[in-house]
Amino acid sequence: MSEMIERVVRAIETEMQRVHDSSGGILCASPEQLARAAIAALREPTEAMLEAGLEAHYDPDDWRIRELGTTWRAMIDAALVEP
């Protein structure tokens, strides 16, 4: 299992436990809550993801590739904004 898959699994488990603990009974997190937890877990790219991005878009004359992680985090943050 990849590092990112493990992160998403832990985030979903944590969200399900949080909802269960706050309800005092058996209550399942909503699909939206689980989706948000999964997307938030993606916010920090893994080293493997950054390396893959560098390989796919590397240009030694383009310094902007160093901002790949910052761009990724901004994109994930935008996905989490309430409409």
Tens of pLDDT along the chain (83 residues) come to 788 899 999 999 888 888 877 666 666 778 888 899 999 999 888 888 877 777 776 666 666 555 677 778 888 888 888 76
Which of 24, 26, 28 lies closest to 12, judged by CA? Answer: 28
Expressed in percent and rounded to 5, the helix, strand and coil fractions of the chain are 75, 0, 25
Which of 23, 18, 62 lies closest to 40, judged by CA? Answer: 18
Classify burial at 59, counting beta carbons within 10 Å of its beta carbon; exposed 0-12, middle 13-18, buried 19 or more.
exposed
Q: What are the structural domain ranges in the chain? A: 1-42, 45-83
Q: Cα separation of 78 and 58, whole Å?
A: 25
